[in-house]
Amino acid sequence: MIEQIQALQQEAEDALAGAKAIQDVEALRVRFLGKKGALTGLLRGLGSLSVEERPQVGQAANEVKQAIEARIADAFDRLKKQAQQEQRSKRSVDVSLPGSPPLVGSLHPLTLVRQEILDIFGRMGFRVEVGPEVETEFFNFEALGIPKDHPARDMQDTFYVGEQMVLRTHTSPVQIRAVLERRKPPVRIVAPGAVYRRDSDVSHSPMFHQVEGLMIEEGVHFGHLKGILDTFAREMFGEKNTTRFRPSYFPFTEPSAEVDVSCFLCDAKGCRVCKDTGWIEILGCGMVDPVVFEEVANYDERTEYDPTSVTGFAFGMGIERIAMLKYRIPDIRLFFDNDINFLKQFGS
């Protein structure tokens, strides 16, 4: 019987040495040491032995039991360490692999176009001014010669946000504030920013962006205005593009004009965008109406813009309109949808 018990130890050691998984070791523990296991079966036969044989066989059985238990513990240990090692090597970083490039954003097309416009005017001495988007009716309308009930208020359908407060319909109030702050000529500024009008279709958005400009200097006349805006058009759209000035009306400028640039898409030969005219309208402008200087003088008597002698010119353009023409964008809403596939086409 002792030989049988020792043979069992050998069998258990061989089986444990070949175990590849923790479940295999558990199965072997049940097979050799479990309630219905091989060693337990042998020990049950102790009763049939003589009184002399029993202690020797019992001792041998105990030693074998302890030896198998120790081997099982070793096997559990070995396989647990092996599993941890595998897990660790799965998680570890392979430093020889090429890195995944980070997502790099690009500037919004409106930002690019605004910057280009401001750069061009900056080179001609115009400094940037910004101001509030929520404005008083006075700065948005009255100071610009647009009194209440004046039909010109209908030209810019307005969002009212409180008692005599509006979302600015243009950036002109920024310029009024700058004129008041400086108190006297010279003034040479550009005012970029968001403006709001109750209007929405493929080419109008209730929020859009403008750049307006203002130059007030001794002796400034319409010829200077033409020179500045012609230079702007050439730098923005191409050296060979010419401009034409058509008479127009704005309540805050007199005389007023709309400015067309020769079609840079078809070299003025005629296309769908220029509607076969060879010209594309890009901005509005004019000589500042003396009524604006009167309003400024009435508002603050310390200012020195004499309405009878001071002259200046102003202009305004929609950034979306310029960007749509430049990049041939068919719908203004694309600027505000924030579709990454649209946005990533512009700039670097």
Shortest Å, Cβ 210 to ligand 2U9? 5
Of 175 and 241, nearer to ligand 2U9 (C-beta) is: 175
Of 37 and 318, the one with the shorter C-beta distance to ligand 2U9 is 318
The nearer residue to ligand 2U9, 7 or 155, going by C-beta atoms, is 155
User: Shortest gap between Cβ of 298 and ligand 2U9 (angstroms)?
Assistant: 14
Task: Identify which of residues 58 and 132 has a Cβ nearer to ligand 2U9 in the complex.
Answer: 132
To ligand 2U9, the closest distance from the beta carbon of 260 in angstroms equals 13
CB of 280 vs ligand 2U9, minimal distance in Å = 13
Q: What angle do CA 171, 178, 208 make, to 5 degrees?
A: 10
Which of 124, 209, 200, 217 is CA-nearest to residue 174? 209
Given the complex with ligand 2U9, which of 37 and 316 has the nearer CB atom?
316
Cβ nearer to ligand 2U9, comparing 25 with 216: 216
Closer to ligand 2U9 by Cβ: residue 9 or 156: 156
Q: Which residues bind ligand 2U9 (CB under 6 A)?
A: 170, 172, 175-176, 179, 210, 212, 214, 250, 252-253, 283-286, 288, 292, 314-318
Smallest distance from ligand 2U9 to CB 186, Å? 14
Query: C-beta of 269: minimal distance to ligand 2U9 in Å?
Result: 26
> Among residues 239, 235, 232, 291, which one has the least CA distance to residue 259?
232
Q: How far is the CB of 235 from ligand 2U9 (least distance, A)?
A: 19
Q: How many CB atoms lie within 10 A of CB 292?
A: 26
